[in-house]
């Protein structure tokens, strides 16, 4: 998924115009590193995040950049692996980027956060949910998105909005990284609080080529509630098996599911997946900033923005906000301190003010409850972020 040629040309022309009238140090751009999977099984997700980041960079530059200096997004492929992410991050820090962003997976984010800390360069996490990510006492890592614990608590808090009469049992199927395992174990540990009994927990590697055996086990369990947790590719495999076998569960509710809240999932399955719910990322439909992001992404790439990519857009806007409050936006110490003091009211997320605690966690982060209805995504809770079409 690449940006349309004209979009790239417009950006390059704009940068050339800016640089042509400047000399010396003023001719430099402010470079932001982006570490995401651009090849491999997670390339779809990674490229979408980078695309959304470019939309944000374009917006900042169209409004004069940072103190007249344009931003430049520098992409580096993590390959979807920890070692690939480590190499990509090292390459970027050695090239003189002012900040890092990334990485889509928690394992990759862990190694990039170590690199950022060692180099003394701020890292703004786009997508990576592991609770352990901010437990190392690092000062240079900041996360905007909800963590495993937040998503899991949202699942329990929103239960009344998706429960059915007679719902008593639950089975969880999840990919076996820190992300999937963390959410599944948290929910299982607290499920009695909402009166359910766990009848099965099935894990698998995200690189699995098939989930046939796992679905056979789920069918035998016959839970009233099925909770799938995983990335786009593996969760699409799961749904393919369920639909082809015409298996019916009382209710299917994902938690931070990489497929269920994605527009591409609906393009594949349409109304066949009506009635599925997901607690996940989303944007605030009532925000003017959101409308700009949606329209700009659609115009540049010819499709709707995948919801996880929203955090790519917001990562650049958070950095731009911090840079504007620095005397020298390319000084990593100043930029780190400005990020720590963030109070961003105008943004695209379904939450209050973006504000970081002492660990770098966005204290107001939250997921929303999305229902697939008539082949489209409808936010049903919290009510203040519900779609207008939801009556």
In this structure, what token pair is assigned to residue 271?
């109304």
In angstroms, the Cα distances linking 342 to 114, 317, 354 are 22, 11, 7
Q: What predicted TM-score, i.e. pTM, was given to this entire model? A: 0.86
Cβ atoms 150, 365 nearer than 8 A: yes
What pLDDT, on a 0 to 100 scale, did the predictor assign at position 286?
86
Cβ atoms 126, 315 nearer than 8 A: yes
Distance, in Å, from the CA atom of 257 to the CA atom of 371, rounded to the nearest integer, reads 13
Q: List, in sequence order, every beta strand (DSSP E) within the chain.
A: 30-36, 71-77, 99-102, 123-125, 141-143, 169-175, 197-204, 225-229, 251-255, 277-280, 368-373, 376-381
Instruction: Show the DSSP H helices in 24-66 as ranges.
Output: 43-62
**C-alpha torsion sign, points 214, 185, 225, 387:** negative
| Residues in the chain, overall count | 391
Distance, in Å, from the CA atom of 37 to the CA atom of 40, rounded to the nearest integer, reads 7
Distance, in Å, from the CA atom of 96 to the CA atom of 164, rounded to the nearest integer, reads 54
Rg of the chain over all Cα atoms, to the nearest angstrom: 21
**Mean pLDDT, the chain cut into blocks of 10 residues (391 residues total):** 40 41 55 97 95 98 96 97 97 96 95 97 96 94 96 96 96 94 96 96 96 98 97 96 97 96 93 97 92 97 94 98 97 97 97 97 96 94 77 45
Q: How many CB atoms lie within 10 A of CB 233?
A: 20
What pLDDT, on a 0 to 100 scale, did the predictor assign at position 186?
95
Q: Backbone phi, then psi, for 203, in 5-degree steps? A: -110, 160
């Amino acid at each position: 998924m690449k940006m349309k040629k004209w979009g790239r040309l417009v950006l390059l022309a704009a940068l050339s115009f800016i640089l042509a009238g400047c000399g010396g140090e003023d001719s430099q751009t402010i470079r932001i590193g982006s570490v995401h999977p651009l090849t491999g099984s997670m390339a779809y997700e990674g490229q979408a995040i980078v695309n959304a980041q470019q939309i944000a960079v374009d917006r900042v530059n169209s409004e004069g950049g940072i103190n007249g200096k344009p931003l430049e997004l520098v992409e580096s492929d993590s390959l979807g692996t920890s070692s690939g992410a480590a190499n990509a991050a090292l390459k970027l820090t050695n090239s003189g980027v002012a900040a890092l962003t990334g990485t889509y997976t928690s394992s990759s984010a862990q190694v990039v956060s170590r690199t950022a800390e060692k180099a003394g360069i701020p890292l703004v996490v786009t997508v990576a949910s592991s609770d352990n990510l901010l437990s190392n006492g690092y000062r240079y890592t900041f996360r905007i998105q909800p963590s495993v614990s937040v998503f899991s608590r949202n699942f329990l808090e929103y239960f009344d909005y998706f429960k059915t009469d007679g719902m008593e049992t639950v089975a969880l199927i999840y990919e076996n990284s820190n992300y999937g395992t963390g959410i599944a174990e948290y929910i299982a540990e607290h499920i009695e609080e909402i009166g359910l009994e766990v009848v099965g927990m099935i894990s698998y590697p995200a690189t699995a080529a098939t989930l046939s055996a796992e679905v056979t086990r789920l069918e035998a369990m016959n839970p009233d509630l099925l909770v799938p947790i995983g990335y786009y590719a593996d969760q699409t495999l799961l749904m393919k098996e369920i639909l082809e076998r015409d298996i019916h569960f009382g209710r299917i509710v994902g938690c931070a599911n990489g497929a269920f809240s994605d527009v591409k999932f609906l393009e594949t399955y349409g109304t066949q997946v009506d009635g599925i719910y997901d607690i996940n990322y989303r944007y605030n439909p009532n925000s003017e900033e959101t409308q700009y992001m949606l329209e700009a992404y659609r115009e540049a790439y010819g499709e709707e923005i995948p919801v996880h990519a929203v955090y790519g857009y917001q990562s650049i806007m958070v950095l731009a906000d911090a840079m504007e409050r620095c005397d020298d936006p390319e000084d990593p110490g100043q930029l780190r301190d400005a990020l720590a003091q963030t109070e961003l009211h105008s943004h695209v997320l379904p939450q209050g003010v973006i504000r970081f605690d002492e660990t770098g966690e966005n204290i107001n982060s939250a997921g929303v409850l999305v229902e697939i209805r008539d082949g489209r995504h409808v936010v049903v809770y919290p009510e203040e972020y519900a779609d207008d079409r939801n009556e």
